[in-house]
Amino acid sequence: GILGLEDKDCTIPSQYICEKVSCGTLFNLSESHIGTITSPGYPHEFEKAIECTWKIQGDNGTNDGRIAFKFNTFDLKDGDYLEIRHCSEESDVEKIISGDFTDSLLVVPASSIEIRYLSLYSWEYDIGQPSMMHIDWKYETCGEHWAVQPKDKGYIRSPGYPNEYENETSCLWTLVSNNGVNG
């Protein structure tokens, strides 16, 4: 059976009982810039329909970073999905992910993110593999935002130059000028 999004629990005849289990946590970027998000009991299956919310919370006024998600294991059954959005009331969903997304990388430009996982089914009476996920994340501040004038000169360098940088590093440099463009 399927649970409605607003349902808290349900009882259906034939001993089919389901309860929505809540889970998740708050990651504070002032404490750590890396973390892991897993489905409940990972790598084992979970038994109940669940709704989990994780928040990665940056410092106030910190908008220049990005959060990189590495999907080590990500295989959701039909009806299950992961939603990623910026942490604000007016925020649209940045990304909805379902199905098999294993070994994928997703970079979201933000310092505060909400991740919501919703499983609408109870796997106790289902045949097949349960949904599972194991996602590593890290907060990156690679790149800069500069206000420049027409005669300004400078260099853009890779992170840690002249040393090598990590694979899958994503950087953003923004140059802004109020004086227009001169050839």
Structure confidence by residue, pLDDT tens digits, 60-101: 555 567 788 899 988 888 778 899 988 766 667 778 888 888
Query: How many domains does the chain divide into?
Result: 2
According to the model, what pLDDT value does residue 13 have?
35
**pTM attached to this predicted model:** 0.64
Asked, for residue 2, whether it belongs to a domain, the answer is no
Q: What is the mean pLDDT of residues 20-49?
A: 80
Provide, rounded to the nearest whole percent, the portion of the chain with pLDDT above 70. Answer: 71
43 and 118: one domain?
yes
Q: 31 or 127: whose pLDDT is higher?
A: 31
Long-range contacts at 61-64 (CB < 8 A, ≥ 24 apart): 62/29, 62/111, 63/110, 63/111, 64/111, 64/141, 64/143, 64/144, 64/145
103 and 181: one domain?
no
31 and 44: one domain?
yes
155 and 125: one domain?
no
Asked, for residue 75, whether it belongs to a domain, the answer is yes
Q: Which domain holds residue 153?
A: 142-183
44 and 64: one domain?
yes
Beta strands in 42-181 (DSSP E): 50-57, 66-75, 81-86, 93-97, 104-108, 113-119, 132-140, 145-147, 174-176
Asked, for residue 1, whether it belongs to a domain, the answer is no
* pLDDT tens, position by position, 94-124: 788 888 888 888 888 777 889 998 887 655 5
130 and 146: one domain?
no
Highest mean pLDDT among 48-52, 62-66, 144-148: 48-52
113 and 183: one domain?
no
77 and 136: one domain?
yes
95 and 171: one domain?
no
